[in-house]
Structure 1
Amino acid sequence: MLFSCALMPGIPGPRSGRSRGASATLGVSVSVIWPSMTTKSPPTSPWHPLSTAPGHPLAAIHGAEVGVGVRLAIEIGPQSKVGSDYFRAYLVSERLGRTAAPFLWGLINRGPFPGFNWVEVTQSTNRIALEDGDEVQIPEGIDIEIVRVLGTLVPVGGHLMIEYDSPHRAITARALMANVPPVATPLGAMMFAAGCGVAFKDWYISEGGREGARKLQGFRAIDAEHQERRERETLEALEAFMPLMRDLDWGIQAAVRPLADAAITLLRERLVVPDGPVAPRGV
């Protein structure tokens, strides 16, 4: 920026061999080139294609098919303060193209111990805009497949955590508030089917409200003994809850009863439990 000023008496001018006490004469103009204070470098996006991080665990699900002709496209972001990697996901349809914006944001962490290996979905939506301006809703079948694919990133002893504050998780939120067993909620049932539901923890107040949305945390079993023990506990909890189902709001009851029935049937078959009360483990 070009800045021009007329020097006033008593204000020293440019060095010209005069003593320090010499003053410039009124009316002498000096042009000074100042660095521009408004010029900024173009912002750098923190999001990058997975090709910039060879060997990253998320590469295993980049391009994964979650519907007929529908695939995931993953971008990696910056690291959190604890070293976890942010990521976001788009959908790419052979017929409709790529979504104009991400539909899911999350974190992934890797570490030397089972509990250090996890995936967290921090935000998601089931209504997405396309590049042509149209908006579509993600079908339930694709939602189920997305959770299943995310579950493949979780090793034994790790966990999958998914927020349920988004509008499309409203039934899960209401069911958990009504003390429905997590495996019988829509989100919990998907996590259970993905192998990340041997046990659950409901973060209905995330670290005192400082860590964002409410989340459901589902664990993958450490070994076969752990899985059998936890599944027996889940079956007992489900069957104890069934008589209380009639007290639920009809909307919640209609959503969770089929899921509870399906989970009970599956667990009884898996644990080889005949009709009747669940026997204690080892009996």
Structure 2
Amino acid sequence: MTSDDRWQQAADAPGHRLAPLDGASLVGGVTLDARLGPRSSVGSTYFRCYLATAGGRTTAPVVFGLQNDGAYPGFNWVEVLDYFASVPLDGGGTFEVTAGVERALFEHLASIVPPGGHFMAEYDSVARSLTARALSARVPPVATPLGALLFEVGCGVAFRDWYISEGGREGPRKLQGFRALDDDHARTRGLEAADALDAFLAERGSLASDLREVTFPLAEQVLGELRRRFGGS
């Protein structure tokens, strides 16, 4: 239990979907410290993800989010409300989250999203500034750093960009990545995404150079994977 009695270790709630994440290994000897908080007004669970590292434990969460269960596929989701790539340690100093740690963390979060569910993640933070610029420049979501990450962890069959908060109440801008409902859904959406990436890569002169340097390799990587899975030219 944390000092705030509204929060508890996820492992202390064995029936909760997030419980298996508490103590999970990431990479480089880093482990996950997952804590459950109060319920939101609609019954979703607030959660925090801290890290235990060789240099100590983080005193602030790397992720603050929400998780929801429901009777229908679309009611099952995870949302990262805040993400921090640099977090303080209890022994002093900071821990810089590597790409490997970030991917492993998101992979664990994605593991609790069932077929037809979705994974939402903010892109208003400093760590997501390149994704924000790329989306503003109309780069396909899956070719942005955040979108490619969601694709890698299985929640990128399709995307919705919440670039304007709905009704002013939905918090920061966020990217919503969907897990395929079934193989047919994955193939249909995958071929659509491949066509969109082909069109994007054909317009090589329309982006700022620093955006091209990041988004084009991501687009080529994802396109190659989609063609490997589903064919096409």
Q: TM-score range by the shorter chain?
A: over 0.9
1:156-171 paired onto structure 2 within 5 Å? 156-171=115-130
Tell me the amino acid that sits aligned with residue 43 of structure 2. Answer: G
Deviates more, 1:238-247 or 1:43-52: 43-52
Structure 2 residue aligned with 1:64: 24
SS of the residue aligned with 2:59?
coil
Report deviation, 1:228. 0.3
Q: Given residue 60 of structure 2, which amino acid in structure 1 is its aligned partner?
A: A
Alpha-carbon distance in structure 2 between the residues aligned to 1:52 and 1:229: 41
CA distance in 2, matches of 1:252, 1:208: 30
**Structure of greater Rg:** 1
Shift of 1:159: 0.2
Q: Which is worse superposed, 61-70 or 119-128?
A: 61-70
Deviations 1:25-79 (A, max 9, x none): xxxxxxxxxxxxxxxxxx9532111244231100121112221210111010000
2:95 and 2:4 map into 1 onto residues whose CA distance is 30
Q: 1:38 maps to which residue?
A: none
1:79 is matched by which residue type in structure 2? R
- Identify, as 1 or 2, the structure richer in helix: 2
Deviations 1:112-169, CA, capped at 9 Å, x for gaps:
1001100000001001101112112111121121111111010000000000111010
Listed as ranges, the matches of 1:1-283 within 5 Å are 45-93=5-53, 95-273=54-232, 275=233
* One-letter amino acid of the counterpart of residue 227, structure 1: A
Structure 2: runs of 5 or more not aligned: none
Identity %: 48
In the aligned structure 1, how far is the partner of 2:94 from the partner of 2:143?
30
**SS of equivalent residue, structure 1 residue 67:** coil
Question: Is the contact between residue 11 and residue 22 of structure 2 (CA under 8 Å) also seen in structure 1?
Answer: no
Distance 1:51 1:267 in 2: 37
TM-score relative to the length of structure 2? 0.96
1:110 to 1:99, Cα distance in 2 relative to 1, 3 A: same
Q: TM-score, normalised by structure 1?
A: 0.79
Which fold has the larger relative contact order, with Cα–Cα distance below 8 Å and residues 6 or more apart in sequence? 2
Q: What residue ranges of structure 1 are gaps of 5+ in the alignment?
A: 1-42, 276-283
**Residue 58 of structure 2 contacts residue 95 of structure 2 at CA under 8 Å; is this kept in 1?**
no
Counterparts of 1:145 and 1:102, CA distance in 2: 16
Following TM superposition, by how much is the alpha carbon of 1:208 offset from its aligned partner in structure 2, in angstroms?
Answer: 3.1
| Alignment partners' CA distance in 1, 2:172 and 2:79 | 11
CA distance in 2, matches of 1:103, 1:264: 30
- Deviation beyond 3 Å, 4+ runs, structure 1: none
